[in-house]
Amino acid sequence: MAIVDKALDGCTALVTGGSRGIGRAISIALAGRGAKVVINYRSREDAARETAELVEKAGGSAVISCFDVGDTQAAMEGVSAAAKDHGLHILVNNAGIAINGLLMRVKPEDWEQVLRVNLGGVFACSKASVRYILKAKEQGRIINLSSVVGENGNAGQTSYAAAKAGILGLTKSMAREFAGRGVTVNAVTPGFIETDMTDEHLPEAQRADLIESIPLKRIGSPSDVADIVSFLAGPEASYITGQVLRVNGGLLM
């Protein structure tokens, strides 16, 4: 259930990978609460523009910003430029990729790419945002998208699981570093959510078995995750930091 208020009026949120899937739903949810949203993307400008239009149709305001979170220099410059132009109170580290395969077959370059984007991206964007977010004091938020796979592992996803587990350590350490300034840092661990990422990596034959294994008997929607991110971004979550919120239909308890 989306929170409907304007508690984020006057705040700017940067959502990495905000152009599609979960990031799109997060962008719309934060804009719905009054935040100006900077929608980051890497390659699909069409999708980023479409998300910006959806935000504006919902009465919010959005700009798009292209940079590769896996390129440390580019990511730090992209975040700094967005913060200088629009201010920065809330960073949602959502951009992520999956390159799956059993460890025996994983190519070292694919391992490096997954770690660079999924974990290096969170490091680079968070590092570049710190000076702005600390100035935001009690309104400052960093929210990181990890995964149930980071908590529980998954055969065929060693690099993805390692990166997503790394995000949890990074989240808790940043939470400790910034708590003195009132800034909170939390992680969300989605289970299986209906997006391009799961479409690509979940064969139809496995879908029914997967749904059977989820206590709530459905795959999640991007808005299931966006609503929790929107909650963590708001004033009602100001006493929550260093936490991992599971949004997985009961898959992992």
Ligand X SMILES: NC(=O)c1ccc[n+]([C@@H]2O[C@H](COP(=O)([O-])OP(=O)(O)OC[C@H]3O[C@@H](n4cnc5c(N)ncnc54)[C@H](OP(=O)(O)O)[C@@H]3O)[C@@H](O)[C@H]2O)c1
Choose the stretch contacting ligand X; rule: CB under 6 A; options: 135-143, 178-186, 193-201, 228-236.
193-201
With binding defined as CB under 6 A, does residue 100 bind ligand X? no
Which of residues 27, 40, 171, 223 is near ligand X by CB under 6 A? Answer: 40
Asked if residues 178 and 136 have their Cβ atoms less than 8 Å apart, the reply is no
Q: Does 20 bind ligand X (CB under 6 A)?
A: yes
Residue 160 appears among annotated catalytic residues: yes
Q: Are 203 and 237 in contact (CB under 8 A)?
A: no
Q: Which of 79, 117, 161, 245 binds ligand X (CB under 6 A)?
A: 117
How many whole angstroms separate alpha carbon 8 and alpha carbon 171? 22
Contact between 186 and ligand X per CB under 6 A:
no
Query: With CB under 6 A as the contact rule, which of the stretches 2-10, 21-29, 205-213, 226-234 interacts with ligand X?
Result: 21-29
41 binds ligand X (CB under 6 A): yes
Q: Reduced to 3 states, what is the DSSP secondary structure of residue 194?
A: coil
Between vectors from CA 239 to CA 162 and to CA 55, what angle results, nearest 5°?
Answer: 70
Rounded to the nearest 10°, the torsion over CA 65, 68, 74, 76 is 80
Name the minimum Å distance from CB 97 to ligand X.
Answer: 5
137 sits in the region (left: phi over 0; alpha: psi -120 to 50; else beta) called: left
Asked if 144 is part of the footprint of ligand X (rule: CB under 6 A), the reply reads no
The answer to whether residue 17 forms part of the interface with ligand X (CB under 6 A) is yes
Which are the contacts of 212, defined by CB distance < 8 A and separation ≥ 6? none
Binding site for ligand X (CB under 6 A): 16-17, 19-23, 40-44, 47, 68-70, 94-97, 117, 145, 147, 190, 192-193, 195-198
